[in-house]
Amino acid sequence: MDQAEERVSEVEDQLNETKQQDKNREKRIKRNEQSLQAIWDYVKRPNICLIGVPECDGENEVKLENTFQDIIQENIPNLAKQDIIQPQAIQRTPQRYSSRRPTSRHIIVRFIKIETKEKILRAAREKDQVTHKVSLTN
């Protein structure tokens, strides 16, 4: 009788251990899925890179944002009127030195929503060429 109780107890212990392992496995799967979602969100990053915009002295985030807004108003006025274009962050890329010619650093604009980036890119593709007139008094 005692042996039967011991065996039942051992089986119950193994069953509890298996249940605990299943719970841990489910927690790990959920954590991995969340991590994968975070990576996927980063892959679909809502950034636009503006190339060839000249730099000016004392440039900061406010001046970069004004430059970006000017580009949007010049090229895509219907989007500028909707006032949906609010960048989350805007900055220049690090300097890349070229021995042949000096080049201006690219501007990276990060948006809160990917839809904003897609609307801007769609409008820019329809226009075919996006330009920016620079005043030399900056």
Residue-wise pLDDT tens for the chain (138 aa)? 788 888 889 999 999 999 999 999 999 999 999 888 877 766 667 788 888 887 777 778 888 888 888 888 888 877 767 766 778 888 888 776 666 667 778 888 888 887 888 888 888 888 777 766 665 444
Is residue 113 located within the same domain as residue 76?
Answer: yes
Is residue 37 located within the same domain as residue 71?
Answer: no
- Whether residue 109 contacts residue 50, with contact meaning beta carbons closer than 8 Å, is answered with yes
Is residue 51 located within the same domain as residue 36?
Answer: no
- Please give the C-alpha separations between residue 95 and each of 35, 59, 102, 103, in angstroms, as whole numbers: 32, 14, 10, 9
Does residue 99 lie within any of the structural domains?
yes
Is residue 34 located within the same domain as residue 51?
Answer: no
Does residue 137 lie within any of the structural domains?
no
* Distance, CA of 48 to chain centre: 10
Q: Is the pTM of this model over 0.85?
A: no
How many domains would you assign to the chain? 2
Is residue 53 located within the same domain as residue 112?
Answer: yes
Q: Give the helix/strand (H/E) hosting 111.
A: strand 107-111
Domain that holds residue 78: 47-127
Does residue 84 lie within any of the structural domains?
yes
